[in-house]
């Protein structure tokens, strides 16, 4: 079953971004992930205002693939740099409909 990573990221510093993109792209692909969206072009339609600068959606082949990506030792320094240089929220969502 597919899983989706849905992220809201607002950089507080842009210093980490150039060193982040390449390794993140490589590791996402290594774990079978596919970027569906990485954009600042988004509009909030409902709820309390959330001013995230970027919305990112990654499709994973499984929960295990997403978790292995997040725990990959090669990703750790980049994750730490993103965490220190941004306000980030990351949700892992199972691709199913519990209300059907």
Cα–Cα distance for residue pair 59/57, rounded to 1 Å: 7
Distance linking the first and last C-alpha atoms of the chain: 16
pLDDT digits (tens, 9 = 90+) for 37-52: 999 999 999 999 988 9
Q: What is the dihedral of CA 24, 28, 7, 66, to 10 degrees?
A: -130
Domain residue limits, the chain: 3-94
Residues in the chain with pLDDT < 70? none
> What's the Cα-to-Cα distance from 38 to each of 5, 9, 41, 98, rounded to whole Å?
11, 10, 9, 27
Using an 8 Å Cβ cutoff, are 45 and 67 in contact? no
Q: What token pair was written down for 26?
A: 């490589």
Would you identify the CATH topology of the domain 3-94?
Alpha-Beta Plaits (3.30.70)
Kindly report the pTM of this predicted structure: 0.93
């Amino acid at each position: 079953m597919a899983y989706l990573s849905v992220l809201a990221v607002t950089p507080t510093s842009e210093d980490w971004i150039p060193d982040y993109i390449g390794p993140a792209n490589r590791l996402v692909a290594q774990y079978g992930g596919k970027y569906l969206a990485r954009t600042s072009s988004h509009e909030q339609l409902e709820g309390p205002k959330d001013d995230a600068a970027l919305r990112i959606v990654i499709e994973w082949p499984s929960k295990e693939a997403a978790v292995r990506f997040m725990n990959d030792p090669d990703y750790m320094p980049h994750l730490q740099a993103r965490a220190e240089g941004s306000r980030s929220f990351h949700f892992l969502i199972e691709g199913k409909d519990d209300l059907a």
